[in-house]
Amino acid sequence: SDHGLISQRSPESPAAMDWPQHYPAFATQPGSEPDNQAKNPKTITQQVEIADIGCGFGGLLFALAPKLPTTLILGLEIRSSVTEFVQQKALALRSQNASSGLYNNVSCIRANTMKFLPNFFSKAQLSKIFLCFPDPHFKARKHKQRIVSTSLNSEYAFVMRPGGKVYTITDVEDLHLWMVEHFEAHPSFERVVGEEVEGDVCVETMRTETEEGKKVERNSGMKFVAVFRRLEDPSWP
């Protein structure tokens, strides 16, 4: 049911998404692009580029938003009440920061990302996907519920542009190894290592600003990070 601030239903396609409802500061002005307006009145001046899958209470979203103020960032979360919390927090931060315009670039939708990801994003739309502390589903018979798998990785590959990056972090070593194994085995991804990972502000933010990252820090636990690059599709002669 639609009891939230923002319609919670999944769209039939990315074009059916009401993006201005999420990013009103980026809505196209009426009359500014007549052709576009005629076809679809629900347009924004740029597309969402960063997705946080299973964003929880949005710690990463609200840390990244002011660091990347001209990039549209979206959290996807399966729990309605948590989604509404993130939407409310975005509205509150926008009004507290009205003079600077910060936080206009961040929002959240309720979604089961194991089912509907290509309904929200079109091919090659995203430059970054975050998978932070996904539920580990420890038992072997539950592994099919993990948000990294051969088929889900193909969906991530579809919505990502070549050169884009998938960021993963977990405190569960077995899940870390699982994610590395599945992304490395996928023809659309290669692992990124070394300075390119350690020097990446997104990696630092993911370690320190996610709710789970903070919890692991308090318990002096380990955090396993891996980053993967979306490769160019092979060109056929």
Q: Is 156 within 8 Å of 121 (Cβ atoms)? A: no
Beta-strand relationship, 72-77 and 189-192: unpaired
Cα gap 205→64, rounded to integer Å? 7
Q: Is 43 within 8 Å of 37 (Cβ atoms)? A: yes
Q: x/- contact string, 133-172, with ligand SAM (CB under 6 A)?
A: xxx-------------------------------------
- Annotated active-site residue 135? The verdict is yes
Smallest CA-to-CA distance from 52 within 122, 15, 107 is with: 107
Q: Does 77 engage in binding with ligand SAM (CB under 6 A)?
A: yes
- The catalytic residue among 135, 171, 174, 200 is 135
Instruction: Give 214-220's long-range contacts (Cβ < 8 A, gap of 24+).
Output: 214/59, 216/133, 216/171
Q: Does 132 engage in binding with ligand SAM (CB under 6 A)?
A: yes
Smallest CA-to-CA distance from 111 within 89, 91, 144, 86 is with: 86
Which positions from 28 through 67 interact with ligand SAM, judged by CB under 6 A? 54-56, 59
Kindly tell me which of 49 and 209 has the beta carbon lying closer to ligand SAM: 209
Cα gap 190→206, rounded to integer Å? 20
- Cβ neighbours for 197, distance < 8 A, ≥ 6 positions apart: 203, 225, 227
Cα gap 64→201, rounded to integer Å? 9
Q: Does 106 engage in binding with ligand SAM (CB under 6 A)?
A: no
With CB under 6 A as the contact rule, the residue among 11, 211, 223, 231 that binds ligand SAM is 211
Q: Please give the single-letter amino acid code of residue 39.
A: K
Kindly tell me which of 26 and 121 has the beta carbon lying closer to ligand SAM: 121
Stretch that binds ligand SAM, among 19-27, 98-106, 210-218, 224-232 (CB under 6 A): 210-218
With CB under 6 A as the contact rule, the residue among 5, 27, 91, 114 that binds ligand SAM is 114
Stretch that binds ligand SAM, among 174-182, 183-191, 208-216, 228-236 (CB under 6 A): 208-216
With CB under 6 A as the contact rule, the residue among 117, 129, 210, 227 that binds ligand SAM is 210
With CB under 6 A as the contact rule, the residue among 87, 113, 168, 205 that binds ligand SAM is 113
Active site residues: 135
Residues that bind ligand SAM in the complex, under the rule CB under 6 A: 54-56, 59, 76-79, 82, 111-114, 132-135, 210-212
